[in-house]
C-alpha cells in the first residue's frame, strides 16, 4: 500500500465515493441489486423492551466472532477432508504395488524352484568328481561354464526375491501408516464438524432472539461497519496504484465466480449449488485450468504473494490474521465471495474486511 494518506482531486474523489457505495458489503442484498450507502441506523424504539443500538452492536460483534470461529473450523474440516482424499489415494496406490509385488514374488519363486530342480537332476556332485567321471572332459568344461552362469543367475534370482519381499514389507508398513493418518484425519474432521455446527447454532440462536425491527437495525449496523471499512480503504488512495489487468486464466476464474452470484453459502461445499469461501475460489480457478489448495489457509501458504498495489482481477485476497477467509478480486475495488452461513455469493468491497494479503494462483 502506498505511503501515507493521499488527498484526491474532487473528480477522482467523487468516483471513489461512488465506487464505495457500489462495493460496500450488503450481505442481505440480492445479487444484481445496486449497493446503496447505508444510512445512519434508526433511533432505538421507545418501547421499554427495545434493544439499544449499543446492545445491537454488541450482538453484531458477537455474531462476527461466532461466524469467524465457524470459518476457522470450516478450514480445519476442509483440510482434513483434503488430506483424507490424498491418504486414500496413497493407500490405493500402495495396494496396487502390493498386488504387483506378490505377483512378482510368486513368479520369482517359480523360477527359483525350477532352478533348484535342475540342480537336483545334476546329482549335486562336486565339479571335480563330475570331471573325473566324464567321458568328454571338454564337453564337461563347456557345461560347467553354463552351470556357473546358471548359479550366478540363481544367486541374482534369490537376491531379487529378497528385495521384493523387503519392498512388500515396506509397502505394508506404509499402508498401515496411511490408515492411521486416515483415522486421525477422520477424528479431526468430526471434531471440526462439531465445532462448526456449535458455532453456527449459537449464532442462529442469538439472531432468533431478535425482533424483526431489531434484525433490520442489525443489518443496518452490518452495512455501516462494512461501509466504514471500505471507505477507509479507499481513502488511502489505493485504487490509484491498482492498475493490473487480468490474465486469460484470471478472466476465466472471474467469469466462473460471477456466474455463482446468488448461490447460498454452505460450509464444506465446492459447488455447483452452494459454496464456502475457499470452495468458491478453488473451483473458480479449477474451471480456468489451474488447480489450487482447497482451504484459504493453504492458499495463503502455498500461492505466490503479491503486493496489494500489484493485484489484478482473479487474484485472491486473504482476510483476517489467521487467513480464515478468502475472496476473489474482480477489479475497481470489489470482490466476489461466499460470506458466511445464511448469506449468498455476493459482490462486496475489497476493503470491507481486514486484509491479510493477496495471492496469485497463476503467477
Q: Which of 23, 68, 320, 337 is catalytic?
A: 337
Sign of CA dihedral 98, 103, 106, 107: negative
Question: Is 23 an annotated catalytic residue?
Answer: no
Cell numbers 568328481 correspond to 129
Question: Is 320 an annotated catalytic residue?
Answer: no
At how many degrees (to 10) do helices 53-121 and 137-208 cross?
A: 170
- 340 neighbors 307 (Cβ within 8 angstroms): no
As a whole number of angstroms, the distance between CA 247 and CA 255 comes to 12
Cα torsion through 144, 149, 150, 152, rounded to 10: 130
- 304 neighbors 359 (Cβ within 8 angstroms): yes
Cα torsion through 167, 168, 169, 175, rounded to 10: 110
Q: Which of 23, 68, 277, 320 is catalytic?
A: 277
As a whole number of angstroms, the distance between CA 78 and CA 56 comes to 32
Q: Which of 23, 68, 320, 325 is catalytic?
A: 325
Total count of residues recorded for the chain: 363
As a whole number of angstroms, the distance between CA 27 and CA 310 comes to 27
All 3 cell numbers of residue 26? 450488503
Question: Is 325 an annotated catalytic residue?
Answer: yes
Active-site residues, by number, are: 277, 325, 337
Amino acid at each position: 500500500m502506498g505511503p501515507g494518506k493521499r488527498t484526491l482531486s474532487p473528480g477522482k474523489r467523487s468516483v471513489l465515493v461512488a465506487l464505495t457505495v457500489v462495493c460496500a458489503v450488503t450481505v442481505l442484498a440480492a445479487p444484481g441489486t445496486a449497493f446503496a450507502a447505508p444510512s445512519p441506523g434508526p433511533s432505538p424504539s421507545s418501547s421499554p423492551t427495545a434493544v439499544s443500538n449499543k446492545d445491537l452492536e454488541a450482538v453484531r460483534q458477537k455474531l462476527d466472532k461466532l461466524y469467524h470461529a465457524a470459518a476457522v473450523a470450516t478450514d480445519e474440516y476442509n483440510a482434513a477432508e483434503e488430506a483424507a482424499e490424498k491418504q486414500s489415494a496413497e493407500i490405493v496406490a500402495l495396494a496396487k504395488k502390493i498386488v504387483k509385488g506378490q505377483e512378482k514374488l510368486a513368479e520369482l519363486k517359480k523360477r527359483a524352484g525350477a532352478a533348484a530342480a535342475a540342480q537336483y537332476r545334476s546329482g549335486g556332485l562336486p565339479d571335480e568328481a563330475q570331471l573325473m567321471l566324464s567321458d568328454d572332459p571338454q564337453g564337461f568344461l563347456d557345461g560347467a561354464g553354463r552351470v556357473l552362469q546358471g548359479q550366478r543367475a540363481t544367486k541374482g534370482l534369490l537376491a531379487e526375491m529378497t528385495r521384493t519381499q523387503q519392498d512388500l514389507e515396506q509397502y505394508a508398513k506404509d499402508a498401515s501408516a496411511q490408515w492411521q493418518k486416515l483415522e486421525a484425519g477422520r477424528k479431526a474432521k468430526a471434531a471440526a464438524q462439531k465445532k462448526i455446527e456449535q458455532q453456527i447454532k449459537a449464532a442462529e440462536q442469538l439472531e432468533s432472539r431478535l425482533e424483526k425491527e431489531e434484525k433490520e437495525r442489525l443489518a443496518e449496523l452490518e452495512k455501516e461497519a462494512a461501509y466504514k471499512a471500505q471507505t477507509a480503504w479507499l481513502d488511502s488512495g489505493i485504487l490509484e496504484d491498482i492498475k493490473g489487468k487480468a490474465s486469460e486464466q484470471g478472466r476465466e476464474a472471474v467469469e466462473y465466480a460471477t456466474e455463482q452470484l446468488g448461490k447460498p453459502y454452505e460450509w464444506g461445499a465446492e459447488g455447483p449449488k452452494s459454496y464456502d469461501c475457499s470452495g468458491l475460489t478453488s473451483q473458480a480457478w479449477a474451471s480456468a485450468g489451474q488447480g489450487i489448495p482447497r482451504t484459504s489457509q493453504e492458499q495463503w501458504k502455498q500461492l505466490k504473494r503479491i503486493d496489494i498495489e500489484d493485484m489484478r482481477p482473479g487474484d485472491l485476497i486473504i482476510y483476517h490474521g489467521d487467513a480464515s477467509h478468502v475472496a476473489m478480486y474482480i477489479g475497481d475495488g470489489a470482490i466476489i465471495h461466499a460470506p458466511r452461513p445464511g448469506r449468498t455469493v455476493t459482490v462486496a468491497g475489497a476493503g470491507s474486511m481486514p486484509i491479510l494479503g493477496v495471492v496469485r494462483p497463476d503467477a
